[in-house]
Structure 1
């Protein structure tokens, strides 16, 4: 997935059940300026609506608001609930 000429490339990582559903764990994706994690969630086909409350969003390894615009070089992770001990 790419938006030609934007220059806004992010690394996207999926974990646990999201990784299994999508069939990949990490990708570099070129985006339009102003794209948010929630917008990218829809573009990737991970869900039809908003990011579920049970899925955490992390940008550059810190929990983040799903509505914050992404910046070039960001690492975005979607973290579903994980059980285990």
Structure 2
């Protein structure tokens, strides 16, 4: 991923992609044709970025699979919303 942050949380997200996750490069605040070209080429050939992206993809597959953390949290959220809906329905019947 080549990131060119403009405003708000994009700055932080771009820094995380480049410095923490190491799955891309952060163009910071400068963007011209030469920089974009250099960064795209660097991302395409970087073994470190490819390895980090593959590791992240593998973890994400585990997280979204049945029983994974994201899957479990989504199910928990749906149960919570259903409970709120049932409670709300009971209140309107009582009123």
For the superposition of Structure 1 and Structure 2, which TM-score range results when normalised by the shorter chain?
under 0.3
Q: Rg: which structure is higher?
A: 2
Which structure carries more relative contact order (alpha carbon 8 Å, separation 6+)? 1
Q: TM-score scaled by structure 2? A: 0.22
Give the number of the structure whose residues are more often helix, by fraction. Answer: 2
Give the number of the structure whose residues are more often strand, by fraction. Answer: 1
